[in-house]
């Protein structure tokens, strides 16, 4: 049985709740009518199998994302923010997106080498053919397995927030370009250490070990709760006005619970 993630957008913020149960045809039809996004994922969100009503119930966030991607200055500002979040420092000034990609590539190669050395794994380079699983060496295969888990949870968050997985800023031209953009921000703090840890142990079922390791890491770091605020922070760097929800927008099917205390008390 799949886990079912119910993610519903509101005008102020997006909430994500994970449930495990059977879903009837009537329940799916009702969710579609009221604008509740259903996403079928693996345990811990490490696989995204299907989604209902892709992109959410409104187009305002999608149009906002497209506006940023089509404006050269805004897009560059978004890319610079992604770089800063990923590496913990602002990128060099007066650099184009292509130049930033080159700088990023050099730093990423060094980070792979450093983490591989920490776990005692022999590492040559990130080299694989995604159409032929056996084409990569052992560390590359386990890294691909772990990265696929991160892509699943990032795509679920992007869909929940009402954005388009295909409209990227660094990556472009692919159905999951924005997924790759967002996943790269979290990759080296989450799935890369998991992959090299699994490679160092040489377990009997390394794909399963990678998947379970990612699941536990996502839960421990509350990654799903962090992705959507990060998306909003990154897009805000574009300098465009965040759109307000239209008056006729569908209200959230499952509203956020109201707190009974002030900021110093638990809800």
Flag whether 39 is in a domain: no
Flag whether 250 is in a domain: no
Instruction: Quote the CA–CA distance of 64 and 243 in Å, as a whole number.
Output: 7
Q: What is the pLDDT of residue 160?
A: 82
Specify whether the CB–CB gap between 61 and 163 falls below 8 A: yes
Q: What is the pLDDT of residue 181?
A: 97
Flag whether 247 is in a domain: no
Which positions ≥6 away from 172 have C-beta within 8 Å? none
Which positions ≥6 away from 88 have C-beta within 8 Å? none
Q: How many CB atoms lie within 10 A of CB 143?
A: 27
φ and ψ of 16, to 5 deg: -130, 125
Q: How many CB atoms lie within 10 A of CB 206?
A: 19
Flag whether 245 is in a domain: no
Of 225, 195, 226, give the one whose Cα is nearest residue 85: 226
Q: What is the pLDDT of residue 111?
A: 94
In order along its 267 residues, the chain shows pLDDT tens digits of: 344 444 444 434 444 555 556 777 777 777 766 667 777 776 666 667 776 665 455 688 889 999 999 999 999 999 999 999 999 999 999 999 999 999 999 999 999 999 999 999 988 888 777 677 666 678 888 888 899 999 989 998 898 888 999 999 999 999 999 999 999 999 999 999 999 998 888 778 878 888 899 999 999 999 988 999 999 999 999 999 887 777 776 665 556 566 555 554 444
CA separation (Å) from 160 to 14, 147, 157?
Answer: 7, 20, 5
Which positions ≥6 away from 25 have C-beta within 8 Å? none
Flag whether 265 is in a domain: no
Flag whether 149 is in a domain: yes
Interaxial angle between packed helices 177-186 and 223-236, expressed in degrees from 0 to 180 and rounded to the nearest 10: 110
Q: What is the pLDDT of residue 206?
A: 79
- Domain with 154 in it: 58-236
Q: What is the pLDDT of residue 156?
A: 86
Flag whether 3 is in a domain: no
Instruction: Quote the CA–CA distance of 78 and 69 in Å, as a whole number.
Output: 9
- Measured over all CA atoms, what is the biggest interatomic distance in the chain, rounded to whole angstroms? 57
Flag whether 174 is in a domain: yes
Q: What is the pLDDT of residue 46?
A: 65
What CATH code is carried by the domain that includes residue 161? 1.20.120.920
Q: What is the pLDDT of residue 186?
A: 96
Instruction: Quote the CA–CA distance of 50 and 40 in Å, as a whole number.
Output: 5
Q: What is the pLDDT of residue 58?
A: 64
Buried b / exposed e over 64-87, threshold 16 CB at 10 Å, is bbeebbeeeebbbbbbbbbbebbb
Q: What is the pLDDT of residue 45?
A: 63
How many residues are there in the chain? 267
Domains in the chain, number: 1
Q: What is the pLDDT of residue 130?
A: 67
φ and ψ of 165, to 5 deg: -60, -25
């Amino acid at each position: 049985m799949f886990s079912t993630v119910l993610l519903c957008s509101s005008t102020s913020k997006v909430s994500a709740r994970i449930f495990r149960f059977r879903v009837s045809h009537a329940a799916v039809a009702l969710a579609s009518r009221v604008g509740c996004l259903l996403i079928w994922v693996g345990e811990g969100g490490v696989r995204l199998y299907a989604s209902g009503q892709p992109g959410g119930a409104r187009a305002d966030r999608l149009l906002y994302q497209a506006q940023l991607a089509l404006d050269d200055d805004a897009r560059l500002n978004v890319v610079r923010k992604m770089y800063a979040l990923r590496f913990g420092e602002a990128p060099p000034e007066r650099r184009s997106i292509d130049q930033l990609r080159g700088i990023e590539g050099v730093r990423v190669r060094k980070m792979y080498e450093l983490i591989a050395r920490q776990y005692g794994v022999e590492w040559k380079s990130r080299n694989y053919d995604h159409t032929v699983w056996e084409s990569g060496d052992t560390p590359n295969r386990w890294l691909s397995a772990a990265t696929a888990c991160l892509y699943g949870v990032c795509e679920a968050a992007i869909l929940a927030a009402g954005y388009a997985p295909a409209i990227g800023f660094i990556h472009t031209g692919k159905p999951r370009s924005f997924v790759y953009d967002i996943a790269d921000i979290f990759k080296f703090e989450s799935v890369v250490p998991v992959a090299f840890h699994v490679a160092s142990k040489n377990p009997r079922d390394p794909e399963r070990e990678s998947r379970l390791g990612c699941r536990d890491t996502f839960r421990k770091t509350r990654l799903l709760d962090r992705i959507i605020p990060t998306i909003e922070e990154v897009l805000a760097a574009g300098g465009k006005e965040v759109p307000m929800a239209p008056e006729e927008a569908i209200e959230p099917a499952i509203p956020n619970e109201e707190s009974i205390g002030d900021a110093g008390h638990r809800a």
